[in-house]
Structure 1
Amino acid sequence: MNSSPEVGNGADSWSGTENDTSQKKAPWIVGVALVLGTFLWMGPYMGVNVVLLPAKAAVIDPDSKAAIVAVLSTSAMIVAAIANIIFGALSDLTRSRWGRRTPWIVCGSVLAAASLVLVSMAPNTMMLIISWCVYQCFLNAIVAPLIAVLADRTAPKFRGTITSMYALGYSVGIYGGQMIGARFLGNISTGYYVLAALTLLAGPLAAVLMREQSSLGMPRKSFTWRTFIDHFSFPTKGAKDYYLALFGKFLIVAAKFSISGFMLYILTDYMKQNQSGAAYYVSLISLCMMVTAIVMTVIAGPISDKIKSRKIPVIVSSLLVAIGSAIPFFWNDPRMMIVYALIAGTGMGAYNSVDQALNIEVLPNKDTAAKDLGILNLSNTGGQVFGPVLAASLITWVGYHALFPLAAVCSLIGAVLIVFIKKVR
């Protein structure tokens, strides 16, 4: 099967995956669907999580804003952990004329967009936490199935290249979302509505482009205890490399978000910028990281395919994140955050470009790809939460300057874990 469902295997023989023999050309249309679909969920998420959510927390309770962000992060991690496994497993088991992934990413987009509106309307801390958790639940109905499209529709020889396309949407979403969010610091509610509208487009647009093949011809599974264990639990057989990848990714992502999760407060409370100065630097930092990430996304994935190695680009990128993160520790100057953005942004761009290709190649079982990739994505979600939670503690005990060595150490340990993966070159 090529990128469109009419070519290649028929519905009766579709096995839910591709190999180097069956796929003669790179599935470019699937890649485009991943670029747009990923940007449209990641951009709004980052615009809210990094900019508008801390800003709203500061409005609701300015004296406890750091603690509120930590609680929001912790509760989001718990909800995302459960939702990733459930929606990933359900999409693996789904049999419909629209395929396995499409129904979930479309419904997830609609409900996540509605949830963002609820977040914007939250009048107090409790309602903010509840509505944010609801949003996290439905957001992961998009995330887990959409990542699984990489495993479903891409042969191993093209995974570096198509993962680069996924990473392009991911990177533009991360940094572009923060830039969009920063534009609405003076009008937070409008920012939420704009980002909710973008979220609403994510699933439908990706579904129309990728035109997923019907899964009705795939074997159905009776819901037995064995099925439940296989599809709704963490893998145990032949999964050593899988867990090395999971915890390596967890620490590398935590390194990035221990800084980016408090970017607004670093600039205002530590580097003493006013609101307009902070908005200027958030936008500039996001632009630098976006540009470097896009450049490395275009380069790193195809190089990974060319040299037939996933580990080397991931390890090098982790070292760059560590170096970039350490620099602002030595100079309390917002311009050093630009240097951080250029170096760490280069590292994260290369990392994101190859990371999902590495993840697919350490999967223990292709039949539970969405669930297992969803669990691996917990390292992404968990890192985004663990980094800010640990950072919040260090801010209280030591001060903002402690965030930078924390990020460097996390990234270095993550790189070491990737080194020990055996299955992947």
Structure 2
Amino acid sequence: MTHTVSADRSVRTAGPKFVVAYIAALLGCYFALITPASVTVALRLQQIDPEHKVGALALALGLGALLAVISNPLFGHLSDRTTSRFGMRKPWLIVGIFGGTAGLLVVAFATTTTTVVLGWCLTQVLFNAGLAALVALLPDQIPPERRGVVSALMGVCFPIAMIGGSFVAQAVAGLPPFWMFLLPAIAAPITVVILCAVLPDRRLDPAARTPFAKRDIARMFSFRPRHNPPFAWACLMVFLLSAGFSTFTTYLVYYLSDVLGVGGGEIAHSAFVVNLIAFGIALPASLAGGWITDRFGRRGLMMISSAVMLALALAVMIVARSVPMLYLSAAIAGVGLGGYFCGHFAVPAALLSGDGEAAREMGVVNIALTLPSSLVPVYGPALLSFGSSASTNYPVLFGSGVLACLLAIPVTRKIHGLNRGVERP
């Protein structure tokens, strides 16, 4: 079912059936993509080449995340210009998610580091092609007065996928390696097919499509801080907090084995418990924080509190020498993440220029969110090897995360009026 539209967008009121299918598809895609990014790619590289696992992980996750940052706005632009009779979003949903799942199978059956890297890059490019179309369904299908509830449901998909992925990884630890990639990936294509079956997709009239120009691609990645300083500070705040948190998640598997001495068979289980604690606390904390900031304002204070708690969690990891101490760090991080999740989209969204560039500017926010996951694996090995021939200097690595979180505090204070509930000065 499609609706032909001109260049002007028409938002239809989607029913509960669509909303359920939409959230299920987003959760399925996160489940397939986050599980390998946070746990199973690291485990697979450790199985293939334990001596060079840190460098291999840096290459795989760093290059993959960088391609994700580029692919998301690129394919989003292509989706906006698609004139297929099947609609603007459906073709990219099918091609992207099914292609990304094929990339995961390449990683699952890989026997060399090179194959893992290539498979993961393919996964990131194609999954982000599908995710670009998937996220665009929010303004396409949900009217403004209902987007708050749907956005909140979208927000909880990430931690649920993180916990579920860790559970699957530890549950299949004794099975052949391909199962830890195959099982999390199954839900994505199934839920996307169901979504496409109930999606009343927009269809763009070819006559309404503007001529393509090369400058359109460059404009997607442009960022003009002087044009809107509060928004620029908000993006920097998100970037710094994301960088701090990324040091926690990226090297969790290796921290468990290298520092805490957790055995190979127990690493997946321990990682699951850590994620369960952190995100299990983050879920109610985020909902409570969102209610508080919606009711009383003070978003700036909430983000500063989040930065302090995340910095404290990383500081505990620096001194931790036991798994229970790591669990304590995860609990503190969960509180910090709760504050982070309720503001990492809400704060920048309230500071958009309002000159018809909302989609492009939210793309900049997405880059601020995801770019640290490509940068941390790049500079992480240098920090781990600082003064350590065994590349196990985790205090320096986590210290960089503490610094990033603390730097977010003065940056947040630069966003004038945020604590008064008035987002623009």
Same fold (TM over 0.5): yes
Is the CA contact 1:256–1:321 (under 8 Å) kept in the aligned structure 2? yes
Shift of 1:153: 4.8
Give secondary structure in 1 for the equivalent of 2:178.
helix
In structure 2, distance between residues paired with 1:51 and 1:414: 27
Is the CA contact 2:104–2:123 (under 8 Å) kept in the aligned structure 1? yes
Aligned with residue 112 of structure 1, among 96, 100, 109? 100
Task: Determine if the alignment matches structure 1 residue 240 to structure 2 residue 229.
Answer: yes
Partner residue in 1 for 2:42: 54
Matches within 5 A, 1:122-161: 122-153=110-141, 159-161=147-149
TM-score (norm 2): 0.84
Aligned with residue 409 of structure 1, among 378, 403, 406? 403
In structure 1, distance between residues paired with 2:199 and 2:303: 28
1:213 to 1:247, Cα distance in 2 relative to 1, 3 A: same
Shift of 1:118: 0.8
Partner residue in 2 for 1:315: 304
Give secondary structure in 1 for the equivalent of 2:343.
helix
1:381 to 1:281, Cα distance in 2 relative to 1, 3 A: same
Is the CA contact 1:32–1:165 (under 8 Å) kept in the aligned structure 2? no
Partner residue in 2 for 1:340: 329
For residue 404 of structure 1, what is the amino acid of its counterpart?
F
Task: Determine if the alignment matches structure 1 residue 90 to structure 2 residue 78.
Answer: yes
1:325 to 1:67, Cα distance in 2 relative to 1, 3 A: same
In structure 1, distance between residues paired with 2:346 and 2:353: 14
Listed one character per residue, the Cα deviations across residues 191-247 of structure 1 (whole Å, up to 9, x for unaligned) are 1111221232353344445644444499422224564554x4424383434433333
1:410 to 1:193, Cα distance in 2 relative to 1, 3 A: same
For the aligned residues, what is the CA RMSD? 3.2
Matches within 5 A, 1:20-419: 32-96=20-84, 99-153=87-141, 159-186=147-174, 187-208=176-197, 211-216=200-205, 219-224=208-213, 227-230=216-219, 232-236=220-224, 238-307=227-296, 310-364=299-353, 369-398=358-387, 399-419=393-413
Listed one character per residue, the Cα deviations across residues 168-194 of structure 1 (whole Å, up to 9, x for unaligned) are 112211222222223233332111111
TM-score (norm 1): 0.84
Listed one character per residue, the Cα deviations across residues 21-52 of structure 1 (whole Å, up to 9, x for unaligned) are x98xx986665455323321222222212221
Q: Return 185-194 or 313-322, whichever deviates more.
A: 313-322
Is the CA contact 2:243–2:404 (under 8 Å) kept in the aligned structure 1? yes
Task: Determine if the alignment matches structure 1 residue 16 to structure 2 residue 6.
Answer: no
In structure 2, distance between residues paired with 1:240 and 1:65: 41
User: Larger relative CO (CA 8 A, sep 6+): 1 or 2?
Assistant: 1
State percent identity of aligned pairs. Answer: 23
Q: Return 299-308 or 212-221, whichever deviates more.
A: 212-221
Structure 2: gaps of 5 or more residues: 388-392, 417-421
Give secondary structure in 2 for the equivalent of 1:82.
helix
1:39 to 1:262, Cα distance in 2 relative to 1, 3 A: same
Q: Return 332-341 or 381-390, whichever deviates more.
A: 381-390
Q: How many residues align?
A: 412
Give secondary structure in 2 for the equivalent of 1:408.
helix
1:46 to 1:110, Cα distance in 2 relative to 1, 3 A: same
